[in-house]
């Protein structure tokens, strides 16, 4: 059964005020080549770099930017580096969802006092650009949250990074604006454990809840709860498998990622038709739904601004709720392991997550699973 937060429900004082997502850090096997992919396919700009040329001998890191989105791709240069074990186990994937705060020490203190496990005590790092205060806590699987306090920093990204100039001349931005939400997959029976973690340790609240009746097909199902921070700038849906005739997409992810982790990152745009058209031309591959999905689209969603023919040509889905409508599309996995993928989303009033599209979307995912022999 679908549930949503009553907006009139009083919310306690936000002990963890978040400014938004500071950056998302990936551990990857070859950061140089991964950076080329995200630049050429998704239109990111290379903004900063850290590696042997800047005095860092054990790793290379590339900072990619598109409007308010910042991705950091890091690769180890030695086999005994801790990153190497993460990549061996998980393949390329998200290690750190870093959160922007005004006071990193207070964020770390409040969350660890409420039960979060510390992975980095508060520390200050400096260079000629100023100073940044950092601290970090653990969350599901090997994923962490770093609290980033950068009000006194004016350098390229973080101390130790060097700005990269001139990439604007070759970048092909696609109109991606900011991170809308990030979805985590957890094991059987663990969803409520991590919902409680975000509620108790980080002060998040339940924003929406989808059960296996909402998210199911003939063959598989899953359950999801969406957690939101106090000001609504950060949203984390948490998924777990549900019983079905065959293996769900969550089970496939858990098998190939070797545990819980970030399943997909939703990137917002103000013009999804233009953005998806550019991404397709630049080589991004998207899931497709049957043409019959669009035959009764107007009856299901009511009037929309976008031409249905253009949506059908690109494979963009539409869903409406009582606040408006939204448009969304999902890429195929961007790794050889069927793990991480991206969503492109445009909101026209709706704050939901495309409940009306779940069946069509999940059937498209199952077709991909069947091709891989994993359904």
More confident residue, 236 or 296: 236
Based on DSSP, count helices (H) and strands (E) in the chain, helices before strands: 9, 18
Q: 149-193: per-residue pLDDT in tens?
A: 999 999 999 999 999 998 877 778 999 999 999 999 999 999 999
Q: Could you tell me the residue ranges of all domains in the chain?
A: 20-169, 176-372
Least confident of 76-85, 212-221, 332-341: 212-221
Domains 20-169 and 176-372 in one fold: yes
CA distance 245 to 173: 42
Dihedral Cα 296, 299, 301, 307, nearest 10 deg: 60
CA distance 50 to 46: 12
Average pLDDT of the residues in 47-74: 97
Residue 250 DSSP code: H
- Which conformational region is residue 166 in: left (phi greater than 0), alpha (psi within -120 to 50 degrees), or beta? left
Is 20-169 CATH 3.10.180.10?
yes
Q: 102-111: per-residue pLDDT in tens?
A: 999 999 999 9
Residue 234 DSSP code: -
In the CATH scheme, what is the homologous superfamily, with its name and number, of domain 176-372? Answer: 2,3-Dihydroxybiphenyl 1,2-Dioxygenase, domain 1 (3.10.180.10)
Least confident of 38-52, 203-217, 321-335: 203-217
- Could you give the 3-state DSSP secondary structure of residue 256? helix
Tell me phi and psi for residue 292, to 5 degrees.
-65, -20
324: Cβ contacts below 8 Å, ≥ 6 apart: 347, 348, 349, 350
Q: 328-342: per-residue pLDDT in tens?
A: 999 999 999 999 999
CA distance 282 to 299: 33
Q: Are 200 and 194 in contact (CB under 8 A)?
A: no
Q: 308-335: per-residue pLDDT in tens?
A: 999 999 999 998 888 999 999 999 999 9
């Amino acid at each position: 059964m679908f549930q949503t937060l009553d907006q009139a429900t009083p919310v306690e004082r936000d002990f963890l005020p978040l400014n938004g997502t500071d950056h998302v850090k990936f551990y990857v096997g070859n950061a140089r080549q991964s950076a080329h992919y995200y630049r050429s396919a998704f239109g990111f700009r290379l903004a900063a770099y850290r590696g042997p040329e800047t005095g860092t001998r054990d790793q290379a890191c590339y900072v990619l930017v598109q409007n308010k989105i910042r991705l950091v791709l890091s690769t180890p240069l030695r086999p005994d580096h801790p990153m190497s074990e993460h990549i061996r186990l998980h393949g390329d994937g998200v290690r750190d969802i870093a959160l922007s705060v005004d006071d990193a020490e207070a964020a770390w203190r409040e969350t660890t006092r409420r039960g979060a496990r510390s992975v980095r005590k508060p520390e200050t790092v400096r260079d000629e650009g100023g100073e940044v205060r950092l601290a970090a806590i653990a969350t599901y699987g090997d994923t962490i949250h770093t609290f980033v306090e950068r009000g006194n920093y004016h350098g390229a990204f973080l101390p130790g990074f060097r700005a990269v100039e001139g990439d604007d001349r070759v970048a092909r931005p696609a109109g991606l604006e900011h991170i809308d939400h990030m979805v985590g997959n957890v094991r059987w029976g663990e969803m409520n454990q991590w919902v409680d973690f975000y509620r108790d340790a980080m002060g998040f609240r339940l924003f929406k809840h989808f059960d296996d009746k909402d998210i199911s097909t003939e063959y598989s199902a899953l359950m999801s709860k969406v957690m939101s921070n106090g000001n609504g700038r950060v949203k984390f849906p948490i998924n777990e498998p549900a019983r079905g005739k065959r293996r769900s997409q969550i089970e496939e992810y858990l098998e190939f990622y070797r545990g819980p982790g970030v399943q997909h990152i939703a990137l917002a745009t103000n013009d999804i038709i233009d953005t998806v058209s550019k991404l397709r031309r630049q080589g991004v591959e998207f899931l497709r739904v049957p043409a019959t999905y669009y035959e009764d689209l107007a009856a299901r969603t009511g009037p929309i601004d976008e031409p249905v023919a253009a949506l059908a040509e690109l494979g963009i889905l539409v869903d409406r709720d009582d606040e408006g409508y939204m448009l969304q599309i999902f890429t195929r996995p961007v790794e050889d392991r069927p793990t991480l993928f991206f969503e492109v989303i445009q909101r026209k009033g709706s704050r939901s997550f495309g409940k009306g599209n779940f069946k069509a979307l999940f059937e498209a995912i199952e077709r991909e699973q069947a091709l891989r022999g994993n359904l």
